[in-house]
Amino acid sequence: MNENKKRFVASALSLIFAMSFLTTNVFASPNGDPPGDPPGGSAMGDPPDGGPMGDPPGDPPDGMGGGSASVSYTGAATIDSSTDGSGSSYKSTTGGENALLVSGGESTLKNITVSKSGDESSESSDFYGTNAAVLVYNGATLNIEGGSVTTDGAHANGVFAYGTGIINISGTTINTSANNSGGIMVTGGGTLNADDLTVETQGNSSAAIRSDRGGGTMTVNGGSYTTNGQGSPAIYSTADITVNNAQLTSNSSEGVVVEGANSVTLNNTVLTDTNNTLNGQSETYKNIFLYQSMSGDASEGTSYFTANDSTIITNKGDTFYITNTNSVISLKNNAIVNNDPTGVLLRAESSAWGNSGSNGGKVTFSLSEQTAEGDIVIDSISALSMELADSSTYKGTINGANQGGSVSLALDADSVIVLTGDSYVDSLTNADAENSNIFLNGYNLYVGGNAISANDGEAPEVVTEIAASSNDSSSEFPAAIVAFSAIILLAAAGCVAFLVIKGKKQ
């Protein structure tokens, strides 16, 4: 080959090397190899009475609504006026004592290290935070940036906002190891805003995102929240909790629990649940659980669960379970996957909570731009109002046992239902008067006891798949870019091969 051809070959080889590097390093997942199995979470026995989802704890203590006059606080370190600091360490080894107690002013602490041990057994630790590593109350505001919080004691929650206390926390790692020890927590109306935290709990009754009597408001942006213990969902809500762009993982308990007149909203969040251990009065495995315990920890009323642009993965049990409460479930553009062949999409029924005969689940189930698959089971004292809109698709069997106390179905003209078994509803409202958007698929839909005419044609394929959410940084590099890189590689290799062959001929 002449010098020009040699230079071209060298350039082409350089191009191949460069594109190979980009394809294998830039376009690959930034986290490298996929993670292995989730950490184990063997059960540690039944939780003590009075823990969330356990036996009712009895009468509420005085001052539960946001005041704490009946509770005395002790802190190994205290802040009662505005203070700024960095790199400090706070430690308590005494039960019933906070490592850091904040009661006044607005303070900002950066890169702190907080450790808390010492057991507490009274309800004050869960209702008022008397054994938490960090407690903020009495109108104080605490801003935490970075650092770590670690607890190793019963009822030793990590970071706790009570009453008029406000916590803004970002970039912090929180680990708790004993029972009844949540990661971040509010009660009595507290406010907590969390950004990009890494939270993991090991004990029973230790939700990563936790609330108790008197509730409050929690807003979570980014981060990962993992639980491993029995009765320890990723979220336990007796509050109004919103989670955006986060990873939620429960390795033993339910994924999300909403008790009473409270709410959970997930936006662009991945929830992965493996409920392999029953807790307290629970009789079924489930991921998202809406109920009323009658313990006094949550006001009676409607429970709300909302998910938008999120991924919900259920590895054992039902995806949604409703009992002894009224509830509203609103879903928009989520990937919903249930890997348990015995699990259903939604189950509303009576259970061990409430008064027998009046403790069913009543649910409004609204789908918008949503694909969902799985059966819906309603018992004789429960009720379902199901609504499909904005090109939603449902595939499954609705009230297949024909036992539902009340079942209504409504869909717009652009939404589709594909039956997988005979289904029974009391009423049907369909914007398509011909019911051509209801595919019988060889089965019948009975409305008020009568089989209706609907589409007997071939049913469309229904696919519920997990798409990469925008909180996964690997989604920043679309498959089309990788494909284009492969084309460039092939073209460059072809040029080299051609020149080499031509050079040999010369």
Q: How far apart are CA 437 and CA 415, in angstroms?
A: 7
Per-residue H/E/C for 192-222: EEEECCEEEECCCCCCCEEECCCCEEEEEEC
Q: How far apart are CA 348 and CA 91, in angstroms?
A: 46
User: What average pLDDT does range 73-102 have in this prediction?
Assistant: 98
Query: 487 or 261, which is more confident?
Result: 261
pLDDT bracket for residue 362 (50, 70, 90): very high
Q: Kindly write down the DSSP assignment for every residue of 40-61, as one continuous string.
A: P----SPPPTTSTTSS---SPP
* Mean per-residue pLDDT over the chain, rounded: 84
Summarised one tens digit per residue, pLDDT across range 420-456 is 999 999 999 999 999 999 999 999 999 999 999 999 9
| In contact, 189 and 213? CB cutoff 8 Å | no
Q: Would strands 247-250 and 270-273 be described as parallel, antiparallel, or unpaired?
A: parallel
Summarised one tens digit per residue, pLDDT across range 155-182 is 999 999 999 999 999 999 999 999 999 9
β-sheet with 98-102: strand ranges across = 75-79, 98-102, 134-136, 159-162, 184-187, 209-211, 235-237, 256-259, 286-291, 318-323, 346-348, 376-378
Q: What is the pLDDT of residue 31?
A: 35
**Rounded to the nearest 5 degrees, what angle is found at the Cα of 160, between the Cα atoms of 131 and 224?**
115
State the Cα torsion 167-172-173-177 to the nearest 10°: -20
Q: How far apart are CA 26 and CA 482, in angstroms?
A: 10
| Helix pair 3-21, 479-505: axis angle to 10 deg | 160
Summarised one tens digit per residue, pLDDT across range 182-232 is 999 999 999 999 999 999 999 999 999 999 999 999 999 999 999 999 999
Label residue 440 exposed, middle or buried (CB < 10 Å: 0-12, 13-18, 19+): buried
Of 453, 502, 258, the closest CA to residue 363 belongs to 258
pTM of the model: 0.81
Q: Kindly report the length of the chain.
A: 506
